[in-house]
Amino acid sequence: MSVSPLQAKPFFSDKNRAFWNLQAVGWLGAFLMRASSTIANGQPLSSLIPVLISTVTGYSVTLLIAVVFRHLLKQRPLVTWTVSILVVVIAAGLCAFIDAWVFATQNKSSETAGLQLFLGAAYLSITLLGAWSALYYAINFYLTVEEQSDQLQRLEIQASSAQLAMLRYQLNPHFLFNTLNSISTLVLLKQTDRANAMLSRLSSFLRYTLINEPTAQVTLEQEVDTLKLYLEIEKMRFEDRLRPVFSIDPAVAQVRLPSLLLQPLVENAIKYAVTPREDGAEISVSAQPAGENVRIVVSDTGPGLNEANVHPNLSTGVGLANTRDRLLQAFGERQTFDARSTPNGGFSVTIELPMLTDEQTKAAA
């Protein structure tokens, strides 16, 4: 789904533009309210002149107040509020003086005393400027809270990405050590062709891990292809003792998941199912739809969990723990992770995660 180029931006995305829009709309509204009240009271149209001058005065004065308030926002609260009240009172007095002078000039025959005119205009000016100031600080407080919330969210995302990267980086050295150790053994045995083939496959595998970011997501099809490349390397070590089987439903081939999510599970199966047995074991990887999720199962025909064998090692290894943590980081509570022995022997890890494709990911973004 493409994003419309005409999509509206948030009102406060440009603070300067938002200020001028609110300033214009607010004072225009104040003028219309006072003008309609004047006309409704049967006053002549000439009475709108003082209202217009008062509005222009208020508009201009609040621009100066905004400059002062912008500097006061950086001060201590006591200084901010004390100086703000003083500025509003002085500005209201200035506006009231101008309003009283304009009214007295236009209505020379009026019997209203100058002090009464000033006090009446001062009451109105303090009300308008006080409301304007309260709104100014309220909007700035709201924007400050929003900025802090956005910053906190960005920091949480960065922390989550860093944790995902750390989990990914914990996996590669273990596999690399085993493979290089096997290559070293082949070289010592002067099996150079096999050592060269393993180096070639290792370079292809490492090229994939370097191209993809630790926090990146890939399709299940890409993950399986990488897993097959990894198993080709391991199969050179174990030959017929390692028997991989894949059963991937085409309907879930484009589902996205964290890169190299399944590799530690297969590595775990090789370590505890293939390595200790002379006849090796079968390792199967299957994926199929499960309602709105995709169910991925990595199982083996090894000894499974038992108190005398591998249970203590599995409980402290990084493979299962890293996979569980990466799933939690990527999908939160929308995923499930279950590891257990199968009834006929062997070990099975079942993962369920949301069926998100590349198009759905872009639409959500």
Per-residue confidence in pLDDT tens, the chain, 365 aa: 444 444 556 777 788 888 898 889 989 988 898 888 878 877 777 778 888 888 899 899 999 999 999 888 888 888 888 999 999 999 988 988 888 888 778 776 665 556 777 887 888 889 889 999 999 999 988 888 888 888 777 766 655 555 555 555 455 566 677 778 878 888 888 888 888 888 888 888 777 666 666 557 889 999 898 888 888 888 887 888 999 999 999 999 999 998 888 888 888 888 888 888 888 899 999 999 998 999 999 999 888 765 434 443 443 345 787 788 888 878 888 899 999 888 777 899 999 999 988 655 444 33
Give the separation between CA 58 and CA 96, rounded to whole angstroms. 10
pLDDT value of position 349 = 93
The first and second tokens of residue 52, run together, are 């217009």
- pLDDT, residue 86, reads 93
Closest CA to 284 of 363, 227, 328: 227
Amino acid present at 92 = A
Pull the structure tokens for residue 296: 């991925």
Please tell me the predicted confidence (pLDDT) of residue 159. Answer: 57
| 262 SS3 class | coil
Q: Could you give the CA distance from residue 187 to residue 251 in angstroms, rounded to a whole number?
A: 43
Distance CA 292, CA 300 (A): 26
Please report the domains of the chain, with CATH numbers, ordered by start residue.
11-151 (no CATH), 216-364 (3.30.565.10)
- Asked if residues 250 and 257 have their Cβ atoms less than 8 Å apart, the reply is no
pLDDT at 249: 94
pLDDT at residue 299, as a whole number: 93
Report CA torsion sign: 339, 171, 269, 223: positive
Which residues are registered as beta bridge partners of 340?
348
Q: Tell me, what's the pLDDT at 315?
A: 39
List all residues 6 or more positions away from 171 whose beta carbon is below 8 Å from its beta carbon.
260, 263, 264, 267, 318, 319, 322
Which pLDDT score, from 0 to 100, does residue 163 have? 54
Count the helix, strand and coil residues of the chain and give each as a percent rounded to the nearest 5: 70, 10, 20
